[in-house]
Structure 1
Amino acid sequence: MNAERWIHICVDMQRMFNEETPWQVDWMATISDQVVEVASRFPDRTIFTRFVPPHSPAEMPGMWRPYYEKWPMMTATRLDPGLINLLPPLQRLVPPARVLDKRTYSPWLSGKLESLLAHQDIGTVVVTGGETDVCVLATALGAIDLGYRVILLKDAVCSSVDQTHNAALDLLGNRFSVQLEIATTDEWLAQARA
């Protein structure tokens, strides 16, 4: 792997998804060791995305308003602000790891991530985090659309719904096999270089 051309995008490994909230993802605790291993080995090549809810549904456009009307307890006015933070073992890696906040499932919409990667001449993104069938899927598909090679670490991604987690892995691995590779953390670490 060309040492100058890859970056690790760790998707939404935040306390609000790991702790007891309506959005808790039980599997997050199971994958956290693998995610911490990758990010700890390469903190200077890691970008953590954080899903940051608005203060109120009215701040969001279109169908995001009814989404947050369904989940008012997860808006910033009602949610403990500390729950937006990364899991503590990951938070300790910032800096040199970087944090990119986003308001939608995809980290690509603002253009900040694409600009950052273009300035570093990145060609490959390694994806970990949650949820496989929501924000991880949006991250991977956006990267594919922008021409990046994507490596998804299947034992370092999770969802709150096993069936759609498995379906997302099947979809990505089968339909996008030219642009996306699925590997285990150990397989990828065995050939990764800083």
Structure 2
Amino acid sequence: MDRDIRIWRHLCIDMQRLFAEETPWHVGWAHRVLPAVERLSRAAPEKTIFTRFLPPRSASAAPGMWRQYYEKWWMMTGEHVDPALLDLVAPLESLTPPAIVFDKTVYSPWLDGRLHRHLVEQGVGTLAISGGETDVCVLATVLGAVDLGYRIILLKDGVCSGSDPTHDASLAVIGGRFSVQAEVMETDDFIDRFARPLTSLSTS
């Protein structure tokens, strides 16, 4: 099926309790950007896709360099972390369904092909991307989406990181070096242009 840039989905990356609460992976900005993420998610829950990052059961179960990563972060593996922390934060969890969830075990949501196949089946050509972290999982999502040919709108006030310098650098790189495929936009501007019933570019 051909993809149409008028058909869009909101792809929200890893807005989970694991990162919003006081854990070793806590991202302080998560609560700051949550209102913007929630506004768009509630404006079009049927067009919203949440991803969740799921650690392995143990470091020994992780492949390649991920094993060393989880030897460092052993306390975040499945045998130690509270499974409830893998859930989406409460305001977003309540939107599923109609919003849907794709789980992943690496930074990128594209690796196993399921998400891309789902979007292609829906004819989706444009992705509005929110969530965290800007310079890790969001960046991996954007770069993969570029390679797969999507039009990308990165929601400036809807992405978060634990590092201000690399957050800012990521926004600059995405909005500058990838300016043909990607643009950086405020969430309310996106809602006004795409998600309000009278101005939506597509009902699909």
User: Among 37, 45, 49, which residue is 1:43 paired with?
Assistant: 45
What's the counterpart of residue 30 of structure 1?
32
Match for residue 99 of structure 1? 101
Structure 1 runs of 4+ off > 4 angstroms? none
Structure 2 partner of 1:63: 65
SS in structure 1 of the partner of residue 34 of structure 2? helix
1:112 to 114, 123, 132: 114
Deviations 1:77-133 (A, max 9, x none): 100000000000000000000000000000000100000001000000110000000
**Could you tell me how far apart the structure 2 residues matched to 1:144 and 1:8 are?**
16
Partners of 1:174 and 1:42 in 2: how far apart? 28
- With over 3 angstroms needed to count, the CA separation of the structure-2 counterparts of 1:179 and 1:29, relative to structure 1, is same
Find the residue that maps to 1:152 and give its secondary structure: strand
Aligned to 1:80: 82
* Residues 1:189 and 2:203 are matched in the alignment: no
Counterpart amino acid of residue 119 in structure 1: E
Report Cα offsets for 1:13-52 as digits up to 9, x if no partner.
0001000001000000000000000111111101100000
Return the offset for 1:156: 0.3
Contact 2:5 2:124 in 1 (8 A): no
> SS of 1:65's equivalent?
helix
RMSD: 1.1
Q: TM-score, normalised by structure 2?
A: 0.93
What does residue 147 of structure 2 align with?
Answer: 145
Q: 2:197 maps to which residue? A: none
TM-score by length of 1: 0.97
5+ residue gaps, structure 2: 195-199
State the 1:58 CA deviation. Answer: 1.5
Letter in 1 for 2:58: S
Which of 174, 177, 191 is equivalent to 2:176?
Answer: 174
Q: Deviation of residue 3 (structure 1)?
A: 8.8
